[in-house]
């Protein structure tokens, strides 16, 4: 009996270690089941989870919906639509992975109707003609009179790396897995399913993943709900005359873990393309060498005018990126800095001397992190100035909160890091901040009651 008692803390320690490696790799229900069995406590305890917000004020989806509703009531049939693009992180994901997040937001925003048809776009690109570059899945949420509408677009990009990951799939098979201790096998499955994602994003798959996000944006910026086919496999040509015709719509990103790095990188990649007209001008000049007809010259001139007009419209756009389990600092390590840094004031301030260089009016970066999430990081303000392209005109807000409670166990206090990494999309305060924002008249009651906000202001104010 004494020996068993001595061994019990070791069992608890082993269980705690087990939580560290259970991730979004197919072990969700198992991880939660073990967590509930080991960490359950008697009776209902007070919710003491912290929530601290520091940074710039930002609008949530509600403000955009109210503006949309006002235009609808004024008889504007072609009023802007809010389009939310979700980008996942490491691990294998199946289409529909963001349903809980979408439905929590729909409920918070009083969108009680959903379009029965789900539209799907299999992403392709001429540069990689034999490979699919992800699946864009679109769902339309609205209120009763359709004066409020959100297109919720979920990007599943991990098909890009699925084939390469098959090279180590044999390692999870029964031929090898039975040779490991059960605990070690769980760790190996986690490593095989998640670590290759980061390695391939930092290697040969980076541009393909950027294209996947860029193509998703192209489809959202170029099409209304009605103009999209139910199912299609197609390339979105951003230089086509009818492309980017929906730039008046509102665009918001919600990312998770590696998805934060992917999305910010993709925005910087898109920005570098849009800012560089030399390639377009060279292509047009080359075409003109072979055709000097008045019609050809007129067509090329119109293409250039259209491109410059779309660039001007992009310079007036604001983007918001809600980064759940933000990983920008970790994944910046070993990477080159963007082309333009340290010049936010010169390019983006009200009295900017180089305002013509800006690519977007503003890019709000909202970084969510749980101190007990082993894979998330808050962002110091200096990171934005040093590692984010200044031409995006970035602003920063950190939200540091506990999405999982800390529990007293035999070996001390413990918070399940698995849940701390995966439960952002089910935390009422996270949903409230995405829905209502911070620093404005209408704040979500849960956020107002349970979060502390310290507003930061730029120099000179």
What is 319-343 written as a DSSP string?
A: EEEEEET--HHHHHTT-PPPSS-S-
C-alpha–C-alpha distance, residues 194 and 249, integer Å: 35
Dihedral sign computed on CA atoms, order 103, 105, 108, 114: negative
Write 447-455 long-range contacts (CB < 8 A, 24+). 447/51, 450/47, 450/49, 450/51, 451/51, 451/52, 451/53, 451/399, 451/401, 452/51, 452/52, 452/53, 453/53, 453/54, 454/52, 454/53, 454/54, 455/55, 455/56, 455/57
C-alpha–C-alpha distance, residues 411 and 428, integer Å: 30
Give me 59's structure tokens.
């609008």
pLDDT at 448: 93
Helices and strands counted in the chain (H then E): 17, 16
CB-based contact 456:384 (threshold 8 Å): no
- For the cut 50, the answer to whether the pLDDT of residue 183 exceeds it is yes
Residues 6+ apart with CB under 8 A from 178: none
CB-based contact 394:344 (threshold 8 Å): yes
pLDDT in tens, 45-74: 667 788 999 999 999 999 999 999 888 888
Higher pLDDT: 39 or 268? It is: 268
pLDDT in tens, 225-235: 999 999 999 99
CB-based contact 377:369 (threshold 8 Å): yes
Query: Which of 456, 324, 461, 460 minimizes the C-alpha distance to 58?
Result: 456
The band of 296, judged by pLDDT with boundaries at 50, 70 and 90, is low
Which H or E element spans position 35? helix 28-39
How would you label 222-231 residue by residue, b for 16+ Cβ within 10 Å and e otherwise? bbeeeebeee
pLDDT in tens, 252-291: 999 999 999 999 888 887 767 666 655 555 555 555 554 5
pLDDT at 114: 96
- List residues bridging with 121 in a β-sheet: 136, 232
CB-based contact 60:434 (threshold 8 Å): yes
Q: What is the mean pLDDT of the chain?
A: 82
C-alpha–C-alpha distance, residues 32 and 30, integer Å: 6
Domain ranges of the chain: 2-101+205-212+241-455
What percentage of the chain has pLDDT greater than the value 70? 80
CB-based contact 365:397 (threshold 8 Å): yes
pLDDT at 428: 95
C-alpha–C-alpha distance, residues 443 and 433, integer Å: 8
pTM: 0.83
pLDDT in tens, 203-222: 888 889 999 999 999 999 99
């Amino acid at each position: 009996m004494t020996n068993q008692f001595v061994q019990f803390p070791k069992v608890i320690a082993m269980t705690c270690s087990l939580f560290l490696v259970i991730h979004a790799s197919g072990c969700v229900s198992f991880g939660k089941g073990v967590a509930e069995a080991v960490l359950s406590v008697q009776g209902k305890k007070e919710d003491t989870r912290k929530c601290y917000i520091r940074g710039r004020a930002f609008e949530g989806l509600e403000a955009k919906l109210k503006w949309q509703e006002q235009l609808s009531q004024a008889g504007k049939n072609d009023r802007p639509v809010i389009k939310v693009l979700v980008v996942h992180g490491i691990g294998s994901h199946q289409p529909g992975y963001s349903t809980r997040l979408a439905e929590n937001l729909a409920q918070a925003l009083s969108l009680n109707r959903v379009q029965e048809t789900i539209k799907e776009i299999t992403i392709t690109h001429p540069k990689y003609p034999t490979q699919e570059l992800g699946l864009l899945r679109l769902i339309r949420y609205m209120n009763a009179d359709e004066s409020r509408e959100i297109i919720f677009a979920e990007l599943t990009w991990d098909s890009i790396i699925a084939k390469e990951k098959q090279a180590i799939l044999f390692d999870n098979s029964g031929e090898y897995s039975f040779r490991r201790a059960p605990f070690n096998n769980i760790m190996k499955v986690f490593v095989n399913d998640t670590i290759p994602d980061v390695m391939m994003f930092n290697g040969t798959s980076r541009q393909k993943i950027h294209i996947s996000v860029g193509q998703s944006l192209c489809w959202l910026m170029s099409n209304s709900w009605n103009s999209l086919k139910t199912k299609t496999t197609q390339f979105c040509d951003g230089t086509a005359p009818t492309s980017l015709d929906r730039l008046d719509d509102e665009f918001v990103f919600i990312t998770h873990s590696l998805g934060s790095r992917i999305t910010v990188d993709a925005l910087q990649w898109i920005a570098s393309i849009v800012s560089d007209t030399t390639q377009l001008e060279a292509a047009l000049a080359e075409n003109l060498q072979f055709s000097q007809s008045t019609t050809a010259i007129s067509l090329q001139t119109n293409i250039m005018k259209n491109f410059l007009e779309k660039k001007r419209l992009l310079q007036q756009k604001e983007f918001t990126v809600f980064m759940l389990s933000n990983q920008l600092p970790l994944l910046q390590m070993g990477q080159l800095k963007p082309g333009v840094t340290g010049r936010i004031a010169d390019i983006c301030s009200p009295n900017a001397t180089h305002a013509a260089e800006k690519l977007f009016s503003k890019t709000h970066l909202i970084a969510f992190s749980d101190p007990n999430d082993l894979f998330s990081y808050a962002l110091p303000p200096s990171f934005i100035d040093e590692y984010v392209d200044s031409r995006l005109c970035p602003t920063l807000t950190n939200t540091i909160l506990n999405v999982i409670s800390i529990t007293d166990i035999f070996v001390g206090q413990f918070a399940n890091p698995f849940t701390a990494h995966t439960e952002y999309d089910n935390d009422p305060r996270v949903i409230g901040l995405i829905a209502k924002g911070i620093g404005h008249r209408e704040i979500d009651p849960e956020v107002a009651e349970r979060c502390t906000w310290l507003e930061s202001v730029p120099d000179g104010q």
